[in-house]
Amino acid sequence: MRLSIILSPTAISTGIHGLGLALRLLFMMVLVRESTPAVLGMFGLLTAIDLIVIYAAGFELHTFSTRRYARHPTPSQLRICFALHTRVFRFATPLAALVAMAAAWLFDVNLDVTSYLCFGLVVATGTVVQELSRYLVLTAKPIRSIVTSFLRTAGWMPFALLFIGNEQQTMRNITVAWAIASTLAALWGMHALREAFSRHLRIRTRFALHAFSRSASYYAVATAAVLQSNIERFLLQLMLGPTAVGIYSLFVTLANTLTALVQAGVLNIFLPRLLTAFGGLTADRRAVLREACKRALLVCLAMAVAIMIASVPIVKLTDHSAYLEYLWILPALLVGQTVLMWSQPVHLAIYGAHHDRLLLTITVTSLVVSLAVSSVLIHVAGIAGAAAAPVLVSAGMAYARWRAFARLEARGVA
């Protein structure tokens, strides 16, 4: 019994993400001790650009293909669905690279030519990795999905730390190591999902356009959501500069660990069940949702306590007074993340029940509110305002999700 618990998907997922957390903390600690908050700020901007562009380049076609596959989970259906993504990759990956490099330049991230090119490769391969990871989860291979993501997000960091120098050298070494790891992750993911590839399948343009149209609503939802989650970094860069972004990024990275662990240890495990239960409106769907929300809340609370305990010595080891001065914003960020992730299964339930326009309304409204609230609070209170804004917006979004779900449930359509 104990061995089965230790080797359960949730335990293994949590363990891998725990290792990723340790590597990210090591990376940040060495980076802030050996360089400046501005360097951490530039890296924080690159990770935000990377995340947003990758989501945008995927066009959320997986919302069409995963639903299609979930209804008929056969090997042939898997190959058809993935062939659609393969066709999109041909133009999406180079476009993503160009947009990412342009965004880094527009936000005044100080990189040399090599760093810009490597960052473009990071985003191009990351576009592929994201879709591979989603398919690995869908085909009941969550551990391989997590390993793929781990290679790209944290596995390269110890090697980059070996070559820290001045600002330009540090950023160049970071982007080179990141690009190599992202490429290896894409290759590993393709090997793990090799049964989904077919050289003989050709996707018709009409079918591809149908997939785009069916995914359009959730594409807007996902893009708005990822913009909202990173908007404070861009506003801080525009209003206060990279040093403020660096200070904020340290605490956001710590808080985002909670999100990553809930995503991997709870939501990825419950995703197929939620899609099936609410897609078919099965009798046990409410019980599945209740279990997912309970598990998400428990993991959030446990991780919030662990992160707070670990954060004090971590911040002290940075040996920068600016980080110690703003340590108090971490609990606020954790509260916001907990409220948001506790309601995330409700978001997935509404998605599984195919109410995309409702999700679009909630998410776009939250983005607009977040932009307004963050702009005002950052102008008034600086970094402290950037920490307070997500708490207010997360609470509002959680309330909107639960209220919308209650109405759908009362009508018998969720």
Question: Does the structure show a pLDDT above 90 at 185?
Answer: yes
User: Could you read off the pLDDT of 359-390 as tens digits, one per residue?
Assistant: 889 988 998 999 999 999 999 988 889 999 99
Question: Does the structure show a pLDDT above 90 at 281?
Answer: no
| pLDDT value, residue 5 | 47
| pLDDT value, residue 7 | 56
Rounded average pLDDT over 339-362: 89
Question: Does the structure show a pLDDT above 50 at 3?
Answer: no
| pLDDT value, residue 305 | 92
- Nearest Cα to Cα of residue 249 among 35, 49, 28, 101: 28
What residue segments make up the domains of the chain, in order of their start? 33-203, 216-414
| pLDDT value, residue 127 | 93
The chain-wide mean pLDDT, for the chain, equals 86
Percent of the chain with pLDDT over 70: 97
| pLDDT value, residue 298 | 93
| pLDDT value, residue 83 | 83
Question: Does the structure show a pLDDT above 90 at 50?
Answer: yes
Higher pLDDT, 5 or 259: 259
> Among the listed ranges 37-46, 90-99, 312-321, which one has the minimum average pLDDT value?
312-321
Rounded average pLDDT over 8-22: 74
The size of the chain, in residues, is 414
| pLDDT value, residue 10 | 65
pLDDT band for position 9 (cuts 50, 70, 90): low
